[in-house]
Chains A and B, each alone.
Chain A
Amino acid sequence: MSDEEMTIRFEDEIGQFKPSLEVEEIGEAIVKSDLTDMSDIMMELLKRMKE
């Protein structure tokens, strides 16, 4: 590792830490979660192609 890699910039590092999801926010997180998968995308593409 280079010296630059061996140095930690606190501000950069602390910025990468995100708040943990709190229990009260679980319901909202479930609602907002994106459950679209590859099958949905394919179906959407096929639908558009038909149109």
Chain B
Amino acid sequence: MDQTERIRRVSNSFYNEGLRRAQRRDLTGAVQYLKKCLNLNKYHIDARNLLGLIYYEMGEVSEALVQWVISMNLKDRDNRADFYLEQIQRKQERLEQVSQVIRRYNQALFQAKSGSDDLAVLQLTRVVEANPRFVKAHLLLALLYITHEDYTKAGKSLYKVLKIDKNNPTASWYMAIVKARTGKAEIERRKIKNAFSHRQMQDDDVIIPPSYKENTGLQSVLNIGAGLLLGAAVIFFLVMPAKLKEVNNAHTQELLQYNEQLNQKNEEIGSLNDRMAEYENTANEAQSQLDSLLNSSDNAAGQYAILVRMMDAYENDNLTEAVTLYAGFDASLLTDPQVQQIAASLSQEIETNGYQALEDLAYTMWSAGRMSEALTYYQTCLQIKPDSPNVIYNMGMIYRSQGETDRAVELFTQVVTQYADSEQAPRAREQLAQLVPENQQAAVPGQSILSQSESGAQESASGQAGQENPAGQDPQDEAAGQDTQEGGDSQDAQSRPEAGAVTGGEEDGIEAGQPAAAGTQEAPAADGA
């Protein structure tokens, strides 16, 4: 048993040496030691597995499989060989590929031995392509290349072999021959010779660079100048453009920011303007509503305002204004009973005293030739007291003077028809006779009425009617006679108040066309007087 233990130890030492060589990629040496290990102890599973692995690395897959199968037979559990076999043997496709590569190598070897070198080279080229680690194929290929003196290709194959198996003796020998043939051996020998030709430096040895030269003063100045120029050129051509570009970029960014801010402010201003316009519209609408409310006489507030102004004017003896305001006054809109009472008493006062003042004012305006104002006041008079033939007649005269014949005829007709018994009816009839020729009276709305009223007047006329419009006298003739009497100045005369028959204005120095002193009214002494 002591001998057995000793054998085991020796086999272990062989295994360890084989492992070290395998780690240094001295595969050939490792194979030798591992074989010795197994010769001493066939049950050394690690040594057998490592031997198979080295065979596999060198392309000898079948040899590797043999070792791993034996290993598994010796120890079927916890054996790394099981994994190796799993990877190769139990995968049919891979095993088939391995088998084909080996078969081709054998064919190439047979062809090389039988002198068919070219075919062997072709076959081996395909073999090393399929399995680049097949050391024996590389060696055989290198041998064939060396035989054909193709040392370069042989060197490449040998280089691959030595990368797999560093100390492969056959590859080393072939490589030495290749180097000798290509001259690389001499180059390497020189390198080695140079490497060992250096001597140890002494303390007083001085190393002088071969390009070293001492600078003179002028050279120093020139060198400094050249350096400055070079530095300036670098700054000008490299630094300045970059700086300039950087500054431009910064300015561009700043400008963009300002533009953006400006756009934002413009948008804000636009929105504010829009809002301001909206507010202005709203304010205008409110103001207009307020104005309409304040100025409108259709509401209670307006009526109260009119009442106040009316009272103020009345208290100040400004009857004209009071009467004017009274025309737009509606007491029914007032709600306060006391105010209604005040308004009623004021209205009575104005109707009693103010009306005549307003009519006088209208007459004054007419006399002054301010026709439109006179008409306005007469309209107000009519609003206060609609049954006023004198006002209607005077308005007709004003319209006639302004050339509005139709309107004048209408008003004269109204006097004749509605106020036939009035003092103004005969004069209105005369005016109608002048304005409407006899043959056209049929077309005039008031013609029949005119005839009726004329006949009625003849029947019931008193002496007054007969004085102004004598019976049987044709209106046209009357008008003609009047025109003749007025010396062809009828048109001009009609533009002013008529110097009525009542006062005999011409004798009083009033020109034709002055307002007629109708009724109680006397002809004014103003204007043309």
Contact = CB atoms under 8 A, between A and B. Distances in A.
Contact of B113 (A14, A26, A42): A14
B147 A20 contact: no
Interface string B54-81: 0000001111011001100100000000
Interface stretch (B96-104, B267-275, B365-373, B398-406): B96-104
A22 B42 contact: no
B362 to A, nearest CB: 145
Interface stretch (B33-41, B231-239, B251-259, B294-302): B33-41
Contact of A8 (B98, B136, B177): B177
Contact of A39 (B7, B103, B174): B7
Given A17-B109, A38-B7, A26 B62 contact: yes
A22 B102 contact: yes
A19 B176 contact: no
Interface footprint category on B: 35 or more
A14 B103 CA distance: 17
A40 to B, nearest CB: 8
Nearest to B42: A37
A25 B65 CA distance: 11
A5 B11 CA distance: 35
A23 B112 contact: no
A34 to B, nearest CB: 9
B41 A39 contact: yes
A49 interface: no
Contact of B40 (A16, A25, A38): A38
Contacts of A36: 42
B7 A19 contact: no
Contacts of B63: 20-21
A16 B14 CA distance: 26
A14 B143 contact: yes
Interface string A24-35: 111001100101
Nearest to A42: B3
Q: Main SS of the interface on chain B? A: helix
Nearest to B139: A17
Contacts of B69: 26, 30
16 contacts: A6-B176, A10-B143, A17-B139, A21-B60, A21-B62, A23-B98, A26-B62, A26-B66, A30-B66, A30-B70, A33-B70, A36-B42, A37-B41, A38-B11, A38-B39, A42-B4
A51 interface: no
Contacts of A35: 42, 70
Contact of B65 (A1, A7, A16, A23): A23
B4 A21 contact: no
Interface of A: 1, 5-8, 10, 13-14, 16-17, 19-26, 29-30, 33, 35-40, 42
A24 B102 CA distance: 11
Given A8-B177, A10-B147, A23 B4 contact: no
A6 B177 contact: yes
B105 interface: yes
Given A6-B176, A14-B112, A17-B136, A22 B39 contact: no
Given A26-B62, A33-B66, A37-B38, A20 B4 contact: no
A1 B69 CA distance: 43
Interface in B168-203: 170, 173-174, 176-177, 180
A17 B108 CA distance: 11
Contacts of A14: 109, 112-113, 140, 143
A20 B105 contact: yes
A42 B42 CA distance: 13
A31 to B, nearest CB: 10
A28 to B, nearest CB: 10
Contacts of A42: 3-4, 7
A10 to B, nearest CB: 5
Given A23-B95, A33-B70, A37-B42, 5 more contacts: A14-B112, A20-B60, A21-B63, A22-B62, A26-B62
A20 B136 contact: yes
Contacts of B113: 14
Most buried by B among A19, A20, A40: A20
Nearest to A29: B66
Contacts of A33: 66, 70
B411 to A, nearest CB: 144
B491 interface: no
A21 B102 contact: yes
Given A30-B69, A33-B70, A19 B106 contact: yes
Q: Report the 7 A-B pairs with minimum CB-CB distance, sorted nearest first.
A: A21-B62, A23-B99, A37-B42, A38-B40, A19-B106, A35-B42, A20-B102
B397 interface: no
Given A8-B143, A8-B177, A39 B4 contact: yes
A21 B73 CA distance: 20
A7 B40 CA distance: 38
Contacts of A21: 60, 62-63, 66, 102
Most buried by B among A8, A17, A22: A17
A6 B103 CA distance: 32
B114 to A, nearest CB: 10
